[in-house]
């Protein structure tokens, strides 16, 4: 049992990768829409590349969503709206009219006759009712009027509005020879007449839905064995609709209870193969990332996130599939790792999504082209203008590619869907949110991007300000090392920004005991004179551990702390080691040796060289070209002899290039000039 547990502990890193691999496969298959996959790929405007295809069973030809929408719109355009006649309002108007006319014509001998004429007017107004909305009479000729629970078809000219009152009063009073009462009647009717016919929205909607339910979603059938399309025949409008119908029917029938687990098994195998390719790529070409489980988790998480968002959009409405900013994936991976890995992961993710999206060939083509453009254009992301330019170029590629596909499918510019162009513009806007996403990833996974490195390189930051105040000599030394290391990194194609920031922070541990380091001693008093060589060595060695602690307290990323940890590797504090040897003879070498580790990357190796060269160059007296040349070769040669660069992925050719740059920089620092003969 103990042996099993020991093996489990030793292989926990590999087991974790297996776990991530299996979980990712299961989740991706779970995200997939529940349906089979039609075994033929076809696109409108392209020839049928398979053998003659005959109908495998009887099926109906489905109408396209556009056709169904058009039919629904026609039904809606010809719909007769429903209005309700309210009798209680009419009764109230009659009652108010009688009361008002009694008051208005109380002393008039013709009151009874005037009352009778007024009721005739009301009878005319409320025969079919008074409507509030005058636009009804302009928009429709006939409406359905529900009066006393009876449905009547009424011409809109038979409905009245308040605007009709004056004309009706003038007409009737002229016929009755009562022209002198026009103003009284107009004022009276304007006050008492109220609308009593109202639009019945609920009933109109119900009747419309009933009409929709009668729509047929198919048009004709295809019998079993009938030729659908011949080999080489171009997929045109009519057979394209038939092929889409059989594809839908085939996939729905395929996803039956008997086939459910077989289809899931097939999906699982294909997804597992894609993710296996990713792990093999990491193991063979990006071993440092493969060994880091945090980075592996980060890559798999981003793949899962993109698959989840895309499948979610497809399930909601597949027309919005191009709104998903899939190019964020290669952009982020390039920011944190490198361009080749970003493009490789992007392509694998698109292959997985090919099972999900409609028109998979078109989708895969567009996304791969956009991903390549992302990799080629996005650089120096910390410069905001670069992001905007790159997003603009990516969006343009989307638009141009989709435009080309539309021409291939349709053969002309008709029926172009401007809505899709809007989706691509929206996609570009979403890509601008990559900067806050990078910040979130940095805090969540402990990664470092160029944006953070730019912030850390600010010499006005709190920690570097404190270093310049407490240890000004060390601060100046760090700036000089940063300049040397950055130039060397640029020469061999290493990460110049990373090595510069590492150089700025590599000696922050000296803040605890600044006067024990010669660059900070401003007087002739040396505190080491009062200590034994062993105690002095302990203080010198401690600046690495102190630097790591200070960096962690100030939330400096681990990637920068690595520079603090290994900028001296496992070298000796040679001066005090020799001094102790002179005093005691036999000395424990480990008491005077840095604990390491030795540099493990090109960047950390560059820092070790630049740090040693800059520090030791202070001892040069009257340097010449030859002295500087021998000096650099000697320092770096001793580091190589001490096996300090065994773990760094750096070649002898690159080391020679670094030497060359360091010699040039030292020559410039000491302002050496060619000696002219007298």
CATH number of residue 466's parent domain: 1.10.3210
Residue 678 counted as domain residue = no
How much is the CA Rg of the chain, to the nearest whole Å?
A: 42
The number of CA neighbours under 13 Å toward the Cβ of 453 is 22
Strands (E), 5-114: 53-54, 59-62, 82-85
293 and 382 housed in the same domain: yes
Distance CA 485, CA 604 (A): 10
406 and 486 housed in the same domain: no
Greatest distance between any 2 Cα atoms in the chain: 145
Q: Residue 8: its pLDDT value, please? A: 60
Last residue of a domain, one of 422, 445, 468: 445
Of the candidates 319, 315, 318, 344, the one whose C-alpha atom is nearest the C-alpha of residue 329 is 344
Residue 582 counted as domain residue = yes
585 and 510 housed in the same domain: yes
Q: Residue 676: its pLDDT value, please? A: 47
Distance CA 508, CA 564 (A): 8
Residues 6+ apart with CB under 8 A from 239: 228, 229, 233
Residue 347 counted as domain residue = yes
Distance CA 298, CA 341 (A): 13
Of the candidates 533, 556, 333, the one whose C-alpha atom is nearest the C-alpha of residue 438 is 333
User: Contact, 62 vs 220, CB < 8 A?
Assistant: no
43 and 176 housed in the same domain: no
Residue 70 counted as domain residue = no
Indicate the helix (H) or strand (E) that contains 504. Answer: helix 496-505
Residue 53 phi, psi (nearest 5): -110, 125
Residue 676 counted as domain residue = no
101 and 201 housed in the same domain: yes
The pLDDT tens digits for 246-305 are: 777 666 655 554 566 777 888 889 999 999 999 999 999 888 889 889 999 999 999 999
Last residue of a domain, one of 395, 423, 445: 445
Distance CA 262, CA 252 (A): 15
The pLDDT tens digits for 547-593 are: 999 999 998 988 899 999 999 999 988 888 888 888 877 788 888 88
Low-confidence residues of the chain, pLDDT below 70? 1-10, 33-43, 45-46, 49, 57-59, 106-109, 135, 137-139, 220, 223, 249-260, 380-384, 409-415, 671-678
298 and 435 housed in the same domain: yes
Residue 619 phi, psi (nearest 5): -90, -5
Q: Return the sign of the alpha-carbon dihedral for residues 147, 150, 151, 155.
A: negative
Q: Residue 490: its pLDDT value, please? A: 92
Last residue of a domain, one of 429, 445, 461: 445
Residue 71 counted as domain residue = no
146 and 201 housed in the same domain: yes
Partners of 83 in beta bridges: 145, 199
Q: Alpha helices, DSSP H only, in 182-259?
A: 182-192, 201-213, 237-254
Which H, E and C letters describe 320-380, residue by residue? HHHHCCCCHHHHHHHHHCCHHHHHHHHHHHHHHHCCCCCCHHHHHHHHHHHHHHHHHHCCC
Strands 218-222 and 59-62: antiparallel
Would the pTM of this model clear 0.85, i.e. be above it?
no
- Angle at which helix 328-336 crosses helix 293-316, to 10 degrees, equals 170
562 and 464 housed in the same domain: yes
87 and 201 housed in the same domain: yes
59 and 133 housed in the same domain: no
Of the candidates 629, 591, 593, 597, the one whose C-alpha atom is nearest the C-alpha of residue 613 is 629
Residue 429 counted as domain residue = yes
Q: Residue 668: its pLDDT value, please? A: 84
How many distinct structural domains can be found in the chain? 4
Distance CA 230, CA 236 (A): 12
115 and 206 housed in the same domain: yes
Q: Residue 547: its pLDDT value, please? A: 93
User: What's the start-to-end Cα distance of the chain, in Å?
Assistant: 86
Of the candidates 266, 271, 245, 241, the one whose C-alpha atom is nearest the C-alpha of residue 255 is 266
346 and 461 housed in the same domain: no
Domain hosting residue 186, numbered range: 77-211
- In degrees, to the nearest 5, what angle opens at C-alpha 482 toward C-alphas 477 and 488? 130
């Amino acid at each position: 049992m103990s042996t099993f547990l020991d093996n489990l502990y030793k292989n926990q890193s590999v087991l974790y990768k297996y776990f991530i691999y299996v979980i990712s496969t299961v989740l991706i298959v779970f995200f997939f829409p529940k349906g089979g996959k039609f075994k033929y790929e076809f696109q409108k405007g392209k020839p049928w590349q398979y053998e003659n295809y005959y109908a495998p069973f009887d099926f109906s030809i489905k109408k396209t969503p556009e056709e169904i929408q058009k039919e629904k719109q026609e039904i809606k355009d010809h719909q007769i709206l429903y209005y309700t006649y309210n009798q209680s309002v009419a009764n109230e108007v009659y009652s108010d009219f009688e009361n008002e006319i009694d008051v208005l014509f109380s002393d008039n001998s013709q009151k009874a006759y005037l009352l009778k004429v007024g009721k005739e007017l009301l009878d005319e107004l409320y025969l079919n009712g008074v409507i509030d909305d005058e636009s009804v009479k302009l928009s429709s000729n006939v409406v359905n009027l529900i009066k006393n629970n009876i449905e009547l078809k009424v011409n809109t000219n038979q409905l009245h509005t308040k605007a009709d009152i004056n004309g009706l009063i003038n007409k009737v009073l002229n016929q009755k020879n009562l022209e002198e009462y026009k103003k009284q009647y107009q004022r009276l009717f304007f006050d008492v007449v109220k609308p009593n016919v109202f639009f019945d929205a609920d009933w109109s909607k119900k009747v419309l839905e009933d009409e929709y339910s009668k729509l047929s979603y198919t048009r004709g059938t295809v019998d079993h064995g009938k030729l659908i399309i011949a080999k080489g025949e171009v997929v045109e409008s009519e057979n394209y609709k038939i092929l889409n119908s059989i594809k839908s029917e085939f996939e729905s029938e395929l996803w039956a209870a008997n086939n459910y687990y077989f289809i899931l098994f097939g999906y699982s195998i294909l997804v597992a193969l894609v993710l296996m390719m990713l792990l093999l790529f990491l193991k063979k070409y990006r071993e440092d990332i493969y060994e880091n489980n945090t980075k592996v988790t980060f890559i798999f998480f981003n793949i899962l996130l993109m698959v989840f968002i895309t499948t979610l959009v497809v399930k909601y409405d597949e027309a919005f599939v191009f709104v998903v900013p899939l190019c964020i994936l290669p952009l982020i991976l390039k920011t944190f790792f490198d361009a080749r890995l970003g493009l490789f992961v992007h392509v694998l993710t698109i292959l997985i999504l090919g099972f999900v999206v409609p028109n998979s060939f078109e989708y895969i083509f567009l996304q791969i082209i956009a991903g390549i453009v992302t990799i080629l254009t996005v650089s120096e992301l910390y410069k905001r203008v670069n992001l905007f330019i790159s997003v603009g170029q990516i969006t343009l590629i989307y638009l141009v590619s989709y435009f080309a596909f539309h021409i291939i499918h349709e053969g002309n510019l008709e029926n172009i869907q401007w809505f899709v162009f809007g989706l691509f513009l929206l996609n570009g806007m979403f890509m601008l949110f990559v900067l806050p996403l990078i910040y979130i990833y940095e805090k969540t996974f402990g990664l470092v991007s160029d944006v953070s490195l730019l912030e850390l390189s600010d010499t006005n930051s709190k920690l570097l300000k404190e270093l310049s105040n407490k240890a000004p000599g060390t601060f100046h030394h760090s700036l000089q090392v940063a300049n040397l290391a950055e130039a060397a990194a640029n020469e061999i194609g290493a990460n110049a920004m990373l090595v510069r920031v590492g150089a700025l922070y590599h000696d922050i541990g000296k803040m605890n005991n600044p006067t024990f380091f010669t660059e900070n001693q401003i007087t002739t008093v040396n505190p080491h004179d009062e200590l034994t060589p062993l105690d002095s060595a302990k203080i010198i060695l401690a600046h690495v551990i102190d630097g790591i602690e200070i960096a962690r307290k100030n939330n400096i990323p681990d990637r920068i702390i690595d520079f603090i940890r290994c900028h001296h590797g496992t070298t000796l504090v040679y001066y005090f080691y020799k001094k102790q040897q002179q005093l005691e003879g036999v000395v424990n070498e480990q008491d005077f040796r840095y604990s390491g580790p030795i540099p493990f990357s090109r960047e950390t190796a560059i820092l070790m060289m630049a740090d040693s060269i800059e520090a030791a160059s202070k001892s040069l007296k009257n340097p010449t070209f030859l002295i500087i040349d021998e000096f650099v070769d000697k320092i770096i040669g001793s580091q190589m002899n001490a096996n300090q660069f065994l773990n760094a992925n750096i070649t002898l050719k690159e080391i020679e290039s670094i030497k060359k740059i360091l010699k040039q920089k030292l020559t410039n620092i000491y302002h050496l000039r060619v000696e002219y003969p007298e």
